[in-house]
Structures are given as C-alpha cells and as structure tokens.
Amino acid sequence: MAAGREAIPYFVLSHAHGEDEIFVGRFFRDVSVGVRGLLGISEDWPVGYLQAHDTAASSWSTDEQVAVASCRTFVALCTPRYFLSASCGKSWGIFAARLAAHQAVAGRRSPALIAVSWLGPDLPDPLPGPEWISKPITGEHGEDVSVLIRIQRHREAYEIVVRTVAERIVVAAQSDRLLTWEGAWSAAEDLFVRLRWELPRRFPLVRMAAIAGTRRQMEEVRANLEPYGDRSEDWAPYRPITGKSAVARARSVALQREMLTEVVPVSGLLDRLYEARRSNGIVLILVDPWSTRRDELLEVLRGVQKIDDGTATIMVAMSEDDPETVEHRSQLRAALRNVFGRQSRCLATARWAEPENADKFDGDLAVVLSEAEERLLAMAPGSASLTTADRPILRGP
C-alpha cells in the first residue's frame, strides 16, 4: 500500500469516556487483530484509532481530528452516555456528513458508519442521522457487547461480534473512498442535540464537580487536612467517620436512581454549566465551604453564581464531626451567602443543601436529584437555546 493511504486509519472506534475503559481497549485490540487478519498485513500495522470523548471538541488533538476527518469507517460504541455527549455527537455528525457527501457524488450509500450496542437499554430507535445508518450490532440473541466481553461462557458469541465488526470495516473500506472533512470543528453538527431532550427522561446525566482544595492548597487555610487529597475529587468531608469522598458518595446515590454520572474537573466546570443549559442536563456542585478562603476556588464559585440560571444543584458539606468546621460554621456560611447573594434562586429552593453528616448527605442528595429530574421533565423540547451548526465543508481526496 502507498504510504499516504497507510496514514488513513481503516476505522475509528468512538466511545464515551469513563465507560469500561479496560474492556473498550480490549475490544479495540481484538477488532484491530481481526481487520489485520482479513487484510493479511503485519501485526504492528496501526489499522485503527481509539477515540475517547473526554474533552471538549475545541480541544481535540490534531491526531484525533485527522483520524475522524479521514478514516474509512467509523465504529461507535452506543450507550445512553454516548448519545448524551456533545463531543460524540459532533464526531458522529462529521462522519455522517462525509457519508452524505459520498452518496451525493457516488449515487449510492456507504455502510461505513458501524454502530455497536455496547450498553443498549433505551437507545434511540432509529439512530440519529440519515437512513443509511443501520441498527447497532449485538450478540446473536440481542446481548450488549459489554456483557459478552465480560463473561467467559459468552466467549464464542463475543468472537462472532468481533468478526462481524471487522468484516464490515474491511468491506466498507474497500468498496468506498469517502471524501475528507476539511471544515472547522466548530462547524460540525452535533446530531445528538435533540436526543438530549429525550434520553435524560430515562437516563439523566449528572455532571458533578467538587469545588474543594487539595491537601497542599489547604495547608495555608486550615489546620485539619484529613479531608483532603491530591485532587479536588479526593475531598472526603466526613472523615474520620467515613473515608468515602463526596464525589464517590454522590455517584453511588445517582447510580441508585439509575442516573449516568460524569465527574468534571474544577477547571472545566463553567464550560459544563453552559453545556447543561443547552442539553437539558443536571449539574451537581459539591462545595467545601473552606474553598471560599482560596482565591482561585473563590473565583470558580463566583463564576458559578454568574452563569447559573437554575441549572445547578449545590451541596455544601459542613461536617458536624469536624471541630474546626463547627467552630467556623457561621463565618463559612456567611462567606458562601456573600458569593451567591441572599436573593439567589438556589438558596431559596431544594437546589441548595448543607448536610452535616454522611447519612444526611445521601438523603439530601436523593431529594435534590429528584427535584432536578422533575425540572428536566418540566422543560419543553425544542428550546430556543438549541442552535443549528453551520453547513459542513468537505473536499475530495
């Protein structure tokens, strides 16, 4: 093969970040082996590209953009979380635009978008996009692939799925040469934007962030450093009674309510607030009141106050078993009220809670998540905040 064509991956495997990373990696390797076997090429030839959507589209790497813009086939691991992701929607949209351009030029459809049911309850039917997108590949009896890959007795069924995917990749890649996407990523259409008004009714996505310092940051603020770790997400406000972090507790409560969760770093919180406003999502902000005494964290809190228009739910953990927090409770609460303002909508509703122990944290969170679900159901689809992307730009090889 010519060197130029070797640089174009036979397939991109697209999946939502945070779901079964180990098993997704194994599936990617197994499909790659199958494709190489069908093509009769060496084991070290990179036939695929693994795309994990863990960042905003604007910060995708050059390699990632080139892979999606030029790959011969696109394999999507379909899950509720996948269809709730704007980044996944843009990748799918770019490839769908390439397929539409190919059909306009060649006069026939290409089967190069290959959907795989990785975790499939209540997935969209039909899948979003033009009519050439077929139903997701499953096991022989409709099993999700994430189930088959885990259980030894399903090994044969799993291998059949891998072989089916590999064969579809090779057939589509060899029969069609798709046009390359050369447009701006900001111009890519997110084909899942409408779905995010429907899927949250069945599987709400809770984006959660902990506005809390690291142990090093809090050394200059307070004496008791036991609740802190190396990351904001390590903050465990109810130590020593329980060592579980606030984020881990929140994820457990959300899971019990059959909600999807995404942990957002503090650095990306404000972007997620904007995204939630567009996509009918829930944002849960877990706040250490001591964060008001770190300038960089105080600025994040102020940013939340400026952006939030009823989207975010705020949980402030003030442990009754932390003598230092109890001693400074009035000052810490006053600092938070000063940030959010005494007339703030969230201070006057169930979107603000101050649990004093771990059990109350779990109970209060169940209540505020229930309130958030009710708000989602009350919001009408087709909001004016939804935007239509610019038309795509494609060019031939």
Which CATH fold would you assign to the domain 199-378?
A: Rossmann fold (3.40.50)
Contacts of 308 (CB under 8 A, 6+ apart): 273, 346
CA gap 83, 85 in Å, rounded: 5
Q: What is the mean pLDDT of the chain?
A: 81
Mode of pairing for the β-strands spanning 394-395 and 180-181: antiparallel
- Mean pLDDT confidence for 202-225: 88
pLDDT digits (tens, 9 = 90+) for 260-302: 787 888 877 877 777 666 666 788 899 999 999 999 999 999 8
CA gap 10, 6 in Å, rounded: 9
The 3-state secondary structure of 255-311, one letter per residue: HHCCCEEEECCHHHHHHHHHHHHHHCCEEEEEECHHHHHCHHHHHHHHHHHHHCCCC
Instruction: Choose between 37 and 375: higher pLDDT.
Output: 37
Structure confidence at residue 55 (pLDDT): 45
Looking at residue 24, the DSSP 8-state letter turns out to be H
Does position 394 have pLDDT exceeding 80, yes or no?
no
pLDDT digits (tens, 9 = 90+) for 143-182: 889 888 988 888 999 999 999 999 999 999 998 889 898 8
- Tokens representing 233 are 């997400």
Instruction: Choose between 237 and 251: higher pLDDT.
Output: 237
SS3 content of the chain, % helix, strand, coil (to 5): 45, 15, 40
Q: pLDDT category, 133, cuts 50, 70, 90?
A: low
Does position 10 have pLDDT exceeding 90, yes or no?
yes
| Portions of the chain given CATH number 3.40.50 | 3-195+386-395, 199-378
pTM to 2 decimals? 0.56
At 286, phi and psi to the nearest 5? -95, 120
Question: Which of 67-71, 76-80, 117-121 shows the highest mean pLDDT?
Answer: 67-71
Which CATH fold would you assign to the domain 3-195+386-395?
A: Rossmann fold (3.40.50)
- Mean pLDDT confidence for 130-135: 62
Q: Is 234 exposed, middle or buried (0-12, 13-18, 19+ CB in 10 A)?
A: middle
Does position 391 have pLDDT exceeding 60, yes or no?
no
Sign of CA dihedral 375, 381, 386, 392: positive
- Mean pLDDT confidence for 33-43: 91
* % pLDDT > 90, the chain: 36
Instruction: Choose between 55 and 26: higher pLDDT.
Output: 26
Structure confidence at residue 129 (pLDDT): 65
Cβ proximity of 114 and 172 under 8 Å: yes
Is 82 strand, coil or helix? helix
Q: pLDDT category, 130, cuts 50, 70, 90?
A: low
Return the number of other C-beta atoms located less than 10 Å from residue 249's C-beta: 22
Does position 215 have pLDDT exceeding 80, yes or no?
yes
Q: pLDDT category, 26, cuts 50, 70, 90?
A: very high
pLDDT digits (tens, 9 = 90+) for 315-357: 899 999 999 999 999 999 999 888 886 544 454 444 677 889 9
Centroid of chain to Cα 388 = 21
Structure confidence at residue 28 (pLDDT): 96
